[in-house]
Amino acid sequence: MLLTAPEIKLQPDKFSIDMMLAAMSGAMRSVLEPGGSPAMMRKLREQLVLLCQSHMAAAIAQHV
Answer yes or no: is pLDDT of 52 > 60: yes
Q: What is residue 11's predicted lDDT score, i.e. its pLDDT? A: 72
pLDDT in tens, 4-51: 666 666 677 889 899 999 999 999 999 999 999 999 999 999 999 999
Cα atoms in the 13 Å half-sphere on the side-chain side of 28: 10
Q: How far apart are CA 13 and CA 3, in angstroms?
A: 8
Residue 40 lies in a domain: yes
Residue 63 lies in a domain: yes
What is the tally of structural domains in the chain?
1
What pTM was computed for the model?
0.75
Torsion-angle region of residue 13: left (phi > 0), alpha (psi -120 to 50) or beta? beta
Q: What is residue 23's predicted lDDT score, i.e. its pLDDT? A: 94
Residue 50 lies in a domain: yes
Answer yes or no: is pLDDT of 1 > 70: no
Residue 2 lies in a domain: no
Q: How far apart are CA 59 and CA 64, in angstroms?
A: 9
Q: What domain range includes position 40?
A: 30-64
Residue 7 lies in a domain: no
